[in-house]
Amino acid sequence: MMRRPLAPPPKSGPRYNEFITVPKVRVIDDEGENLGVMFTQEAMERAYEIGLDLVEVSPTADPPVCKFLDIGKFKYEAQKKANIARKTQKTQELKEIKMRPNIDDHDYDTKMKKVHDFIGDGDKVKITLRFRGRELSHQQLGMQLLQRVAENVGEIAKVEAYPRMEGRQMLMVLAPK
């Protein structure tokens, strides 16, 4: 059987064949049977006889655990797993709902439906209360409105950032429980 030409050392991923630097390793064959602890050179020769590579699967163990695998196939499957994990992970977004302090009941209900939808999807919600003109002198109305919002979503969300003023607007951030 021909040996592969010497490749550059792996930058990421497991070490294999000549790049395993420890003198002794615990070896597991291609069928999953434990062959015990043996010298690295001897383990590499046994892997070459089968036509596979000696791949370090647990470098932190004492001695490191190595397995008889095809390194190309191993890297390909690891890459596929990483791609699937990246596709299925959900990134949490920050959605914003804007209101005014003197919002009508029906408008409030409509906004609250959107807040429930966003939190149900696993997103954070930033509620912005914008004050205009004389409304700025009645900040207690805005605080009451934001407390009402916090009570309405109390079962499904928690207040991550309590109401605070920033210029002419009052902000509050809700996160799913």
| pLDDT score for 52 | 94
What CATH fold (topology level) applies to the domain 17-87?
A: Ubiquitin-like (UB roll) (3.10.20)
Contact assessment for residue 113 and residue 120, using Cβ atoms and an 8 Å cutoff: no
- List the chain domain ranges: 17-87, 94-176
Tens digit of pLDDT per residue, the chain (177 long)? 566 666 666 777 789 998 999 999 999 998 999 999 999 999 999 999 999 999 999 999 999 999 999 999 999 999 999 999 988 887 888 999 999 999 999 999 999 999 999 999 999 999 999 999 999 999 999 999 999 999 999 999 999 999 999 999 999 999 998
Question: Looking at this protein, which amino acid is placed at residue 160?
Answer: E
Contact assessment for residue 172 and residue 127, using Cβ atoms and an 8 Å cutoff: yes
pTM of the predicted model as reported, rounded to 2 decimal places: 0.55
Instruction: Write out the CATH class of domain 94-176.
Output: alpha beta
Question: How many residues does the structure list for the chain?
Answer: 177
| pLDDT score for 88 | 85
Question: Looking at this protein, which amino acid is placed at residue 62?
Answer: D
| pLDDT score for 89 | 83
| pLDDT score for 91 | 80
CA angle 170, 172, 177 (to 5 degrees): 170
Contacts 24+ apart (CB under 8 A), 134-138: 135/100, 135/101, 135/102, 136/168, 138/101
| pLDDT score for 7 | 65
CA angle 12, 17, 22 (to 5 degrees): 85
Q: Which two tokens stand for residue 108?
A: 């409030």
Q: Is 135 left (phi over 0), alpha (psi -120 to 50) or beta?
A: alpha
